[in-house]
Amino acid sequence: MEFEGLSVDQAPPISAPIRFFVTAPLFAVLAGILIFLSDAQVLTSRYSIETIVITHAITIGFLSFVMFGALFQMLPVLAGVKISKVGIISKISYTLMLLGTFSMIFGLWLNISKLIFVSSLLLGGGFLTVIISMLIAFRGVINVTASVRAMITSLVFAFIIVLMGMHLLASYGIGKFSNLHGLFANIHSVWAIFGFAGVLIIGVAFHVLPMFYVAPRFKKFCKQKVVWLITGGLLLWLVLNVFAESYSTIAKIWVAMFFWAFSTTVYLKLNARRRKVSDVTVWYWRSAAIFMTLGTFSWAFNDFFDGKYIVIVSILIGGGFIFSIMSGMLYKIVPFLVWFHLNAKGYMTIPTMNDMINKKLATAQFVLFIISLVGFIVSFFIPSILPVFAISFIMSMAILEYNIVIPILIYAKIIKTKPEFDMSMFTMKVEK
């Protein structure tokens, strides 16, 4: 691995990101159970309550928990900025997001209005606490890299979509919907996928691919221009969607082109990496590149089919691209955090990052996940087979949970012993 450009002296406590990581697959398991219990025909509509609940069990419960957990670690390490009172902020945001997600899922599923309204406040409070804290932390950044710019941009998008999400969810809680409800829902979903998650993944990839995979660095144009071009495309899409909806496909194609270019670049860089050893995380990145290529152009041209295939588009991009990368990153980040924090405390006799993950189980988990994605797409046309792939998805997520818990148990076991080396004389420290 290459650690050039990393700031390791301001790392947050391991509990700050880990609590998010451990929880995420459990929400994915819950989403799988809800898919299994749902009427497959109903899930072919993006506007059904079942679809909304399952979508957000995945997007908030899994994807957001992984992304914000990762940001707690990456901001100090990649950007060199310190989140004030990171331990407290992590606990508060995690608690509010956890309670809010459960309240939203069961409130909508069981049609409990008060619980839905409360969930909008809990989720809004949790997300805004962490987003605002991180944006404030960026004021102290010294070296504004391409990754830093991407993270700031993604958090600005996140701030906007959270406010929209609160409004949309509260509307279900009070049973009143404005004339702009459909427009807000559209902006909320598109900016969440491409503006928040997409831009964040691009920014992180600038550092992660060279660091973990010893892949060639991204070219200057890609690092300096792509995020702004995508942001411009998303703003253009908003304007056209409001004032000239029939022309919004132009902006969609614009955004799709740059995500396709990024996906292609990722695939080629993984092929050109100096460390040729392949593992499940490489497979996740490669499959994500393929799914994103298919997904972005499907999204752009779905307008020509009156939006009929938007559920398939969501599976390709949300599941195939974002979910794949988040899953792959868990296999890298969790062992890295365990190794890093034990090493920082003076423990020398510790397992390597590769030894912390059961490779056969990781392979099985990946295969089950890909089978599930393909199965979900086929189920759009043959709804009766959906329960089979819901079960494979549940199994995949249960294995993922097991695989990331094992390194944490290793940490818990080793931390009870005495370190081999006294690190108190050095400056490296972990925030509390």
Q: What is the pLDDT of residues 232-283, one digit of tens each?
A: 999 999 999 999 888 999 999 999 999 999 999 999 999 888 777 778 999 9
CA atoms within 13 A on the CB side of 144: 9
**pLDDT tops 60 at residue 427:** no
Q: In Å, how far are 135, 192, 206 from 283, measured between CA atoms? A: 33, 25, 18
pLDDT at residue 420, rounded to an integer:
62
Distance, in Å, from the CA atom of 379 to the CA atom of 373, rounded to the nearest integer, reads 10
Distance, in Å, from the CA atom of 256 to the CA atom of 176, rounded to the nearest integer, reads 34
pLDDT at residue 432, rounded to an integer:
46
Do 318 and 58 form a contact (C-beta atoms < 8 A)? yes
Checking 50-55 for CB contacts under 8 A at 24+ apart, the result is 50/109, 51/311, 52/108, 53/104, 53/105, 53/108, 53/109, 55/314, 55/318
Distance of CA 424 to the CA centre of its chain: 35
Q: Which residue has the tokens 């391991």?
A: 14
Task: Write out the DSSP string of 69-118.
Answer: HHHHHHIIIII----TTHHHHHHHHHHHHHHHHHHHHHHHHHT-HHHHHH
pLDDT at residue 346, rounded to an integer:
80
**pLDDT tops 50 at residue 428:** no
**Binning pLDDT at 50, 70 and 90, where does residue 297 land?**
confident
Instruction: Enter the tokens of residue 397.
Output: 């997520």
Q: Which residue has the tokens 């069981």?
A: 110
Percent with pLDDT over 70 in the chain: 95
Condensed to tens digits (0 to 9), the pLDDT of residues 154-197 reads 999 999 999 999 999 999 999 999 888 999 999 999 999 999 99
* pTM for this predicted structure: 0.92
Written as one letter, the residue type at 167 is: H
Find the farthest-apart pair of alpha carbons in the chain and give their distance in angstroms, rounded: 67
Task: Please provide the average confidence, as pLDDT, over all residues in the chain.
Answer: 90
**pLDDT tops 80 at residue 126:** yes
pLDDT at residue 265, rounded to an integer:
92
Decide: helix, strand or coil at residue 9: coil
Condensed to tens digits (0 to 9), the pLDDT of residues 135-147 reads 999 987 888 889 9
